[in-house]
Each structure stands twice: as C-alpha cells, then as structure tokens.
Amino acid sequence: MFKQTFINLLKNAGITVNGQKSWDMRVRSDEVYRQALRRGNLGLGETYMDMCWDCDRLDAFIYRLVSAGLDKRKYLTSALIFFKSWFINAQKITRARQVGERHYDLGNELYQSFLDSRMQYSCGYWLKADNLEQAQIDKLDLICRKLRLKAGETVLDIGCGWGGFAKYAAENYGVKVTGLTISVEQAKFAREFCRNLPVDILTADYREHRGKYDKIVSVGMFEHVGPKNYRTYMEVVNRCLKDDGIFLLHTIGGLVDSLNTDAWIEKYIFPNGVIPSMRQIIAATDGLLVNRDVHEFGHDYDKTLMAWWDRFNLAWPELNKHNSKYDKRFYRMWKYYLQSCAGAFRAEKLRLWQIVFTKPGVKSDYSEVR
C-alpha cells in the first residue's frame, strides 16, 4: 500500500522510482515508502542518510517534489513541532545557544572547507559574479552601500558569524564594528580574523546588548530568532539604532506565516530555527521601524548552495581522513541539507530578502541600491 501510493505521488512530480533520469530515486529498501508517507521530509531525509535510497541529483529531485506541492502534505511530526512552537519559546535566551553548539560549533575546518575566504555562510550576490568568492564580495559591498557607510561610523553586526562582514566593512569603509555571536567557535575565529582592526567580537545574545550605533546589520541570523521573539528583536534594533541611522536585515523568507520549520532541518541542521514571512517581519516593526527598501534575490541562494556543495564534495576526502566525526552518514546528511535547500530555492518555496529600515519620524531621501 505504501509503495504504490508513494510511486503515484512522485509521478505527479515527474519522478520515477528506479527510473533512469538524474532526478529519479533508486530505492534499496521498501522502508523508504512507509517512512516518507508517515513522516514526510524527516522520514525521507533519514532514510537517505541511512542509504535506503539514492539519487544522482538531489537538488533536481527536491525541486520537482516542491514544485508539485508534495511538500505541503501534513504529517504527524509536523503537528508535533507546531504544538511545541505554539506553547514553547524555543529561542529564549536559555535555549538560543543550542544552534551554536549543535551547528556552528561543528568545527571551523568544516566551514572553511566549503565557504569562501571571508567565511560567508549566507547567500552571495551573483548579479555580475561568476564564482563564489566574487559573489560574496559583491554581497558584502552591496550591504555596505545600502547602509551608506562612512568612515568613523559605528556598526552593530547582530549574528556576526566568523567576522567576514566586520572585517570587510572595517577594511574598506573605515567603520568600527561590534559583532555579536552565540557560537564560541565563531567568536574565536572572528577575533583572530579581525585582529588589528577596529572590530570587537562579543559572545552574547542580542537581547543582552546595550549601546548606540550609526548603523545596524544582521545577515542570516533572523532565521534563528523565532516568532515569539520577532518583536523583542526589533525593539533591540530600535533601542540600539541612532535616530538618523539605517538598519539592514538580510534573511531567508517564506511566503506564508510559520511557527515552526521543516522536521528534518529542525532535527539535524538548525534546531529551533523558523523562516519568517514578510508579514511577520513588517508586523514586528510596527511603530518601531519604517521599511525603505526590499530586495529579493532568492535565485542566488540556489547558486550559492550548489557552489558550497561542490566545494564540500571536493574537500570531503581530507575532512573524512583527519576527523572521525565526519563519517559517511554525516556526508550524506550534509549533501541532503545543501542540495535539498538549493532545490527549495529553485522552486521558489524559499526567498532571500534584504530589507532596509530607518526609524519612524525621520525624513529620509533613501533610494534603492542594486
């Protein structure tokens, strides 16, 4: 029963079980059918990690699955995550560091293996770029130009990662940057990376920070804030931003309001993460900030993720040889993560927004920058 139902569903997406196309599934165990139908992407992802099925082009497989709407089927695991999100603030301060410990602290050598030289773990800007390195430089410069950075200004970087933006902005625009991260490993790397520059890296939750800044930026961090904290986050931005300042938010976005995330991503990649909708973001800023510009380039995340995958795959033999925690199951988990996310962006289920804000009541001549 499970097998035929699953096969029929995939036919709607142009996917053939044990077919010859690069996006077709090759199933080694009938357990795949039961797990996928009962547990959705959690079952599909786990059976892939356990080598119960394979596919030459996971990105193309997921793209077709999502484009056909098969990801919208409701499963028990999704319901359980929904109720947890409804009753529990999964991103409160005492829990917020979980994602740092479980994802960002996996080892800097892992991230150095597939990220660019500035360690940018967010979408690059491919308008004129033809490689990952240039796409990330162009993204950083785009942000600096949108913020209208001037020498001597102070900048707060909420979720500074490994310090790539802080280093770029300090070196190229002469600003002073304070970076916040909840990852111990990121903080260690960022401090060394930005040594001898006017950059201060703090291991702290955004809610704990005080200070006033000319500009504020947050790149790829808002996905970890959670709906119960969106308003608090924007209150912190409002409190820390000078009256004539500019705030830029760079975040993955979804088309509908959400209280939870995909069950497989929640369990294996980003615990407690939630993708915000535009409506949730704007509602959180009501009376605090005014939206001046929205720039959407989610198609660039497809390119970024596939570039990360190519670099990770190339580096894998060395990673596997020198660190026992990077085993075959980890390799398949990382492949499923990077390529399935690429497919979701390609299908436009996920978006990438850069949103520029100023404070209300401030007359602004702000014009878009591309």
Residue-wise pLDDT tens digits, 326-347: 999 999 999 999 999 999 999 9
230 and 101 share one domain: yes
Strand partners, 158: 180
Q: What is the pTM of this model?
A: 0.92
64 and 105 share a domain? no
User: How far apart, in Å, are the Cα atoms of 106 and each of 24, 91, 116, 130, 355?
Assistant: 32, 20, 17, 29, 30
Question: What is the total count of domains within the chain?
Answer: 2
Which ranges of the chain does DSSP label H, i.e. alpha helix?
A: 2-11, 31-49, 58-67, 76-87, 93-96, 98-99, 108-114, 132-146, 164-173, 184-193, 230-240, 263-268, 278-284, 299-322, 328-346
The span from the CA of 199 to the CA of 166, in Å, is 7
Distance CA 213, CA 211 (A): 7
Residues 63 and 171 in one domain: no
Which helix (H) or strand (E) segment holds residue 215: the answer is: strand 213-219
As a whole number of Å, the CA-based R_g of the chain is 21
Question: What's the order of all strands across the beta sheet hosting 350-358?
Answer: 199-203, 176-181, 154-158, 213-219, 241-254, 350-358, 290-296
* Rounded Cα gap, residues 91 and 273, in angstroms: 8
- Enter the DSSP assignment of 223: G
Is residue 83 assigned to a domain?
Answer: no
* Whether residue 62 is found in the same domain as residue 150: no
124 and 68 fall within a common domain: no
Instruction: Establish if 57 belongs to a structural domain.
Output: yes
Q: Within a 10 A sphere around the Cβ of 370, how many other Cβ atoms?
A: 10
Q: Kindly state whether residue 309 falls inside one of the protein's structural domains.
A: no
- Clarify whether residues 229 and 278 are in a common domain: yes
- Structure tokens, 216: 């504020």
pLDDT for the residue numbered 90: 54
| Two tokens, residue 186 | 């990121």
Residue 85 lies in a domain: no
Annotated catalytic residue within 144, 194, 240, 341? 341
Tell me the residue type at 129.
Answer: A
Q: Report the CATH number that the domain containing residue 350 is assigned in CATH.
A: 3.40.50.150
Q: What is the extent of the structural domain holding 248?
A: 93-301+346-358
The list of the chain residues with pLDDT below 50 reads 74-88, 96
Is the residue at 310 inside a domain?
A: no
* 192 domain residue, yes or no: yes
Do residues 58 and 164 share a domain?
Answer: no
Among the candidates 73, 102, 119, a domain finishes at: 73
Q: On the CB side of 82, how many CA atoms lie within 13 Å of its CA?
A: 8
Among 20, 39, 73, the domain boundary falls at: 73
283 and 157 in a common domain: yes
Query: What pLDDT is recorded for position 271?
Result: 87
- Closest C-alpha to 188, from 118, 105, 302: 105
Q: What's the N-to-C CA distance of the chain in angstroms? A: 52
User: Catalytic: 341?
Assistant: yes
**Of the residues 10, 43, 73, which one is the last residue of a structural domain?**
73
In a domain, 177, yes or no: yes
Q: Does the residue 11 lie in any domain?
A: yes
Work out whether strand 199-203 and strand 26-27 pair parallel, antiparallel, or are unpaired: unpaired
Identify whether residues 243 and 142 lie together within a single domain. yes
Predicted confidence at residue 89, as pLDDT, reads: 54
Query: Do residues 110 and 187 both lie within one domain?
Result: yes
What is each CA distance from 308 to 122, 259, 303, in whole angstroms? Answer: 10, 28, 9
Tokens 């999502």 -> residue: 66
Residues 237, 101, 256, 219, CA torsion sign = positive
| Residue 288 tokens, joined | 């605090």
Alpha helix ranges (H) inside 154-298: 164-173, 184-193, 230-240, 263-268, 278-284
- Are 288 and 160 members of one domain? yes
For residues 67 and 98, membership in a common domain is answered with no
252: tokens are 């993955």
